[in-house]
Amino acid sequence: MELKFILISLISLLSVSVFAGPTDDNHVHVEQVGSGDDLNLNIEQIGYGNFIDFSFAHAGNTFNLSQSGNGNTISWVPYWGSGKSWGGDVDGVDNTENIQQLNGATYGRHIWGDTNTVDVYQNGTHTHYIDIHVDGVEHDMHQEGSGSHYAHIYWYGNTDDSESTMTQKGDASHNAQIVITGSEHTIFNLLQQGGTNQSYSLTQTCHTVGGCTVNISQGN
């Protein structure tokens, strides 16, 4: 089996597209250096055991990342201090992530900054994982299909009225672990739907006079 490694360093580029597949064990590493905003990054991987990691510290970027195949991963860079000094992999404002992973995959990310948006969609017959650490981010995450679903969400709610939605649907078990802190009003929605085990744990520290909102729904 051949391992392919792609390293991309971006300096003020407007649009980049990368296609890797249909092969296995590809690794795409993207790091934005220097100045420059408004990047449009498109990556598609088809196959098994593929990996994408990246670090950005600017504004107005759009990331469209797609993986199809079991055992694929989109995650943070393997060293601390990327992006913001605390370890954010995306550090800035008005950034957008659109993530699609099919047939068993892992998504992990540190995101710091206001008015960022994250949409994650996972579907298929194998197990899916989400591990996300975010600040002032609107994030909408979906796990569907017949595989088991696991989600770890660490939300530092420092942007007023920011909202997070986690949806887990399908025939296998669902588990969500959520930790919410911060000084602003936040809205968290959890929907777990299916005929098997559904569980969650929620730890929340709400420091705002206006209060914080949590909506939980479980059922068939």
> What is the per-residue pLDDT across 67-113, written as a single tens digit (0 to 9) for each?
999 999 998 766 544 444 444 578 888 889 999 999 999 999 888 87
DSSP 173: -
pLDDT category at 12 given cuts 50, 70, 90 is: very low
The average pLDDT across 123-148 equals: 90
How high does pLDDT run on average in the chain? 82
First to last CA, the chain: 42
pLDDT of residue 33: 62
What was the pLDDT predicted at 35?
65
User: Taking 70 as the threshold, does the pLDDT of residue 10 lie above it?
Assistant: no
Q: What is the pLDDT of residues 39-53, one digit of tens each?
A: 888 888 888 899 888
Longest dimension (CA), the chain: 57
Confidence class for position 16, pLDDT limits 50, 70, 90: low
Above 90 in pLDDT, residue 144?
A: yes
Nearest residue to 156 via CA among 216, 84, 218, 97 = 84
Query: Who has greater pLDDT, 147 or 79?
Result: 147
Average the pLDDT over 187-208 and give the result.
91
Q: What letter would DSSP give residue 81?
A: T
Q: Quote the distance between the C-alpha of residue 25 and its chain's center.
A: 21
In DSSP terms, which residues pair with 153 in a beta bridge?
Answer: 132, 178
Which one, of 181, 176, 212, lies nearest residue 193 by Cα? 176
Kindly report the backbone phi and psi dihedral angles of residue 108, in degrees, each rounded to the nearest multiple of 5, phi listed first.
Answer: -135, 140
Q: How far is Cα of residue 108 from the mean position of the Cα atoms in its chain?
A: 5
Q: Tell me what pLDDT residue 152 has.
A: 95
Token couple for 38: 């408004």
Q: Domain limits of the chain?
A: 4-219
| pLDDT score at 20 | 59
Instruction: Reply yes or no on whether the pLDDT at 216 is more than 50.
Output: yes
Reported as a pLDDT band with limits 50, 70 and 90, residue 143 is very high
